[in-house]
Amino acid sequence: MKSIVFFNNKGGVGKTTLLCNIASILSIEFQKKVLVIDADPQCNTTTYCIDGASVDDLFSKIKRETIDTFIQPLKKGKGYLPDAISPITAPRFCFDLIPGDPRLALSEDLLAADWKSLLPVMKEVFKQLL
């Protein structure tokens, strides 16, 4: 399994467009199984990839399967989901998607605190990749 991450704190630099098009090319042209995880509280990838009615339906549910589903066990100190969730398919782009969730904004402080402790681990990962 290969992972590609698109990250930039600057808004309006084309992250969503680049991500969706590269994921789509990998899926359609290279027949790769692609899972896109929308970890942005603005949910731009989710709203770009699925139609408005599906987005409305997704966010109207009290219990919804989004990126926020993964955060809830972390908040409770469990660290994992008791049951798997199913990604949705982005029909226009032909990849699977774990949708974003505006509720993720409520968890940003929790996630930001963990970045510092992750730095030594990421240095080791990059050493192995290079």
Over residues 94-117, mean pLDDT: 79
Is 15-129 in CATH node 3.40.50.300? Answer: yes
**What percent of the chain is modeled with pLDDT above 90?**
43
Angle at 103 between CA 87 and CA 125, to 5 degrees: 65
Does residue 121 have a pLDDT over 80?
Answer: no
Does residue 2 have a pLDDT over 90?
Answer: no
Give, for 24, the enclosing helix (H) or strand (E). helix 15-28
CB atoms within 10 A of CB 47: 18
What one-character DSSP code corresponds to residue 106? Answer: G
- The domain limits of the chain are 15-129
pTM given for the model? 0.75
Q: How far, in Å, CA of 105 to CA of 43, rounded?
A: 10
Lowest mean pLDDT among 43-57, 65-79, 100-114: 100-114
Does residue 17 have a pLDDT over 90?
Answer: yes
Over residues 34-55, mean pLDDT: 93
| pLDDT at 7 (0 to 100) | 79
Q: How far, in Å, CA of 17 to CA of 21, rounded?
A: 6
Nearest to 98 by CA among 57, 43, 33: 43
Query: What distance, in Å, lies between the first and last C-alpha atoms of the chain?
Result: 17
Q: How far, in Å, CA of 55 to CA of 113, rounded?
A: 30
Decide the pairing of beta strands 88-90 and 95-98. antiparallel
Structure confidence at residue 6 as a pLDDT band (50, 70, 90): confident
**17, HSE (Cβ side, Cα atoms, 13 Å):** 4
